[in-house]
């Protein structure tokens, strides 16, 4: 599948009147495949928003290059196929959501019946139909985020940039926005999402990149990055004697009131543990590959990168 975004050796330095230049993005190289949800992670100040702004043509790189849908950032033709939801979006407060979408539809040159239908459908999709004719100054943060998402979907984009799309939202709005992102993937769209909500990315992301201090610390498929070679075995009615026999075979072992949790590595150890449990009459509850959380991976990566 073709790459939606290609970044090679991208570097961005900002002038600093009080000292030397500040490097926000440092020799970043990565690619985003078409049709995937790509999580762009990193602590505050890691260079995520700077990278997105370079990809949108709002900032210019100091060094390196990037292409978006095969064209340089800022290309007018490409802007018809991409969209952007900034972090904590601000819009013209005197407008209603319907007028706001009308304004952006005009910028996309979407006219007539198509304009009206798209606006109505999007207001419905993001749950703003009831509030569509209220001025945006009366909107809550969650409602503004929904309006922002609607403007980002107005042109039926091939590639969507979302910067912190779920930050500060209530659980309902949060779930709704995650569902919209998953819908985009179903429709074959590429979603480039920067977020601190790691559980969201773990749930919906195909691949992630972790940026630390402007440098790429890690990139890969979520499944692969979170997978380990350990297998978690849980059982009940485990006697202390069997527990003592199993403990040396496990990397991590815990036995309390007959309930056991053991993490073992390799099929030999697993077979021995399962055999001992079956022969002793214990009940095996689960046998699952152990999976790290994205949060753990993120924390380890960021701390390791510092």
Task: Return residues touching other proteins (CB under 8 A).
Answer: 53, 56-60, 76-77, 79-80, 82-86, 89-92, 94-95, 103-104, 106-109, 148, 151, 155, 161
Tell me, rounded to whole angstroms, the distance of Cα 218 from its chain centroid: 14
Residue 53 beta carbon to other proteins: minimum distance, rounded to whole angstroms = 8
Closest among 104, 111, 194 to 157, alpha carbons compared: 104
Cβ-proximal residues to 280 (8 Å cutoff; 6+ apart), any chain: 238, 239, 242
Residue 66 makes CB contacts below 8 A (sequence gap 6+) with: 5, 6, 7, 8, 10, 54, 55, 72, 73
Comparison of 107 and 172: residue with beta carbon closer to other proteins = 107
CB of 30 to other proteins, least distance (A): 20
Name the residue nearer to other proteins (CB basis): 111 or 296. Answer: 111
Residue number, 80 or 280, with CB nearest to other proteins = 80
Closer to other proteins at the Cβ: 7 or 147? 147
Question: Looking at beta carbons only, is 90 or 241 nearer to other proteins?
Answer: 90
Q: Which residue has the tokens 């994205």?
A: 294
Structure tokens given for 210: 């972790």
* Spatial separation of the C-alpha atoms in residues 83 and 161, rounded to whole Å: 6
Q: How far is the CB of 77 from other proteins (least distance, A)?
A: 8
CA angle 194-195-196, nearest 5°?
Answer: 145
Q: Which DSSP category does 258 fall into?
A: T
Q: In the structure encoding, which two tokens stand for residue 110, read together?
A: 């979407």
Query: CB 269 → other proteins: shortest distance, Å?
Result: 53
Nearer to other proteins, 16 or 267 (CB): 16
Least spacing, CB of residue 60 vs other proteins, in Å: 6
Nearer to other proteins, 92 or 295 (CB): 92
Min dist CB 133 to other proteins, Å, is 16
Residue 225 near residue 208 (C-beta atoms within 8 A)? yes
Three-state secondary structure call for residue 14: strand
CA distances from 139 to 92, 146, 243 (A): 12, 10, 59
Least distance (Å) between residue 118 CB and other proteins: 14
């Amino acid at each position: 599948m073709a790459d939606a975004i290609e970044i090679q050796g991208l570097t961005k330095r900002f002038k600093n009147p009080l000292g030397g230049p500040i490097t926000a993005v440092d020799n970043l190289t990565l690619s985003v495949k078409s049709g995937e949800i790509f999580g762009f992670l990193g602590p505050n100040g890691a260079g995520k928003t700077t990278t997105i702004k370079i990809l949108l043509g709002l900032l210019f790189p100091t060094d390196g290059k990037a292409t978006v849908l095969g064209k340089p950032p800022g290309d007018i033709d490409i802007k018809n196929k991409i969209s952007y939801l900034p972090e904590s979006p601000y819009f013209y407060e005197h407008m209603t959501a319907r007028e706001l979408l009308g304004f952006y539809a005009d910028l996309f040159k979407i006219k007539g019946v198509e304009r009206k239908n798209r606006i109505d459908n999007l207001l419905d999709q993001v749950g703003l139909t009831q509030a569509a004719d209220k001025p945006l100054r009366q909107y809550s943060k969650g409602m503004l985020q929904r309006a922002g998402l609607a403007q980002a979907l107005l042109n039926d984009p091939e590639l969507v940039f979302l910067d912190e799309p779920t930050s500060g939202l209530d659980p309902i709005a949060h779930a709704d926005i995650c569902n919209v992102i998953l819908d985009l993937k179903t429709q074959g769209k590429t979603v480039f999402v920067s977020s601190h909500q790691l559980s969201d990315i773990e749930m919906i992301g195909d691949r992630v990149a972790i940026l630390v201090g402007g440098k790429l610390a890690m990139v890969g498929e979520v499944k692969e990055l979170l997978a380990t070679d350990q297998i978690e075995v849980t059982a009940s009615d485990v006697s202390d004697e069997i527990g003592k026999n199993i403990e040396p075979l496990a990397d991590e072992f815990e036995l309390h009131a007959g309930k056991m949790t053991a993490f073992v590595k390799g099929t030999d150890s697993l077979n021995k543990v399962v055999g001992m449990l079956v022969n002793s009459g214990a009940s095996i509850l689960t046998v699952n590959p152990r999976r790290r959380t994205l949060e753990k991976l993120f924390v380890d990566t960021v701390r390791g990168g510092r």
